[in-house]
Amino acid sequence: MTRRIVFFLFLGFSLWGGFAQSPFSFEVDSLILRGMDQTLLCEFDEAMATFQRVIDRCPDHLVGYFYQAAVLQSRMMDYETDLWEGDFYRLIDKAIDTGKKQLKRGDDNAWTYFYLGSAYSYKGLYQAKAGSFISGFISAHKGMGYFEKTVELDSILYDAYLGLGSYKYWAGRFYKYLKFLPWIKDEREKGIGMVTLSVDKGTFSYWAGLNSLAWIEYDRKRYKEALILFKKGLGKYPGSRFFQWGVADSYFQLNDFSVAALFYQELLFSILNDSPNNGYNEVVCRFKLALSHFALGYYQEALNECDAILQRGVEEKISIRLEKYRKAARKYRKECLSRLEKKKGQEK
């Protein structure tokens, strides 16, 4: 779940929707929207090319570098790899450096602070996902300072409240692990209110906030509410693996295993037909599919998925991460064989 939470937090620090208050031209606004759509649809090469056009048109603004870094992080998360990590850090640091130069030359408007906050926050989120939890929250905390400056300069730039609210919720969620950091507080309810405000009144925040709220609801175990939000996103972006995971996992948590299995099957087909596939997502998806089949009493189908998991070769680093799934698959495989044997005996 963590990898998808990080992705939708990215949306919370990004532009979305209309561009009535944008500091850019209509052409650049359209490119940003197109690149975001391409990212959600997992069309990562196309998104990188689109945001390169933003850089070409705004070479002295951090916006294009930020979005290219965001695409790479989303790509690494979707494929469960760190293959593009070096390029991600190069681009996100370029965005931060460019933004600071903008401030020095007097380009200190609310939007510059907004994007600097986004860049720091997104860097922090990646650091946390990569295992540097404390460093990640320190970077994200710097981002919050820029967001606060954003709303100080323009109190009705409601999109900034999405970044602030998302941070407050997730910082509160992990408060017991981070309370030694003096600025960390448990402000989850306040965070939810800020995210909701950005959805209701922000210029760009509807889809971003919708998905941030979906993962918050999922985290709060309010799976029916989460499912409604995820399905809205999937309706807008059919075939998007990011939304498919949310829908499938919500159905699974609601014990609607027959529908969950359909979505996991669609996800598995998408994963197997895309590249690169290092095996991680394939195994996770097969395992949840096996659990769904098992819960429905389809023991042969569950057995087939367990066998596929145990036969899937992966590199050592991925193998270590997948060991818990393999261990569980061996357990369910044994149980499936036992129940199939029992069923065969009853038929005689």
Q: In sequence order, what DSSP letters do the residues of 170-235 get, joined into one string?
A: HHHHTHHHHTTSTT----HHHHHHHHHHHHHH-SS-HHHHHHHHHHHHHHTT-HHHHHHHHHHHHH
- The rounded distance, in Å, linking the Cα atoms of 258 and 309 is 20
Contact between 191 and 166 under an 8 Å Cβ cutoff? The reply is: yes
Q: What is the pLDDT of residue 2?
A: 45
Mean pLDDT of the chain: 89
Residue 89, pLDDT score:
97
- Of 3.30.420, 2.60.40, 1.25.40, 1.10.3470, the CATH number of 2-221 is 1.25.40
pLDDT digits (tens, 9 = 90+) for 58-106: 999 999 999 999 999 999 989 999 999 999 999 999 999 999 999 999 9
pLDDT score of 19 more than 60:
no
Task: Output the pLDDT for position 172.
Answer: 87
Share of the chain above pLDDT 90, in %: 63
Residue 292 has pLDDT above 70, yes or no: yes
Comparison of pLDDT for 233 and 51, the residue scoring more: 51
Per-residue pLDDT for 294 more than 70?
yes
pTM for this model (two decimals) = 0.87
Residue 134 pLDDT exceeds 90: no
Query: What are the sequence ranges of the domains in the chain?
Result: 2-221, 255-347
The whole-number pLDDT of residue 9 equals: 47
235's tokens = 């309706």
pLDDT tens digit sequence for 233-273: 899 999 999 899 999 999 999 999 999 999 999 999 999 99
pLDDT in tens, 177-233: 777 777 778 899 999 999 988 888 876 667 778 888 999 999 999 999 999 999 998
Confidence category of residue 110, pLDDT binned at 50, 70, 90: very high
What pLDDT score does 53 carry? 98
Q: So what's the pLDDT on residue 204?
A: 62
Q: Which pLDDT does position 6 carry in this prediction?
A: 45
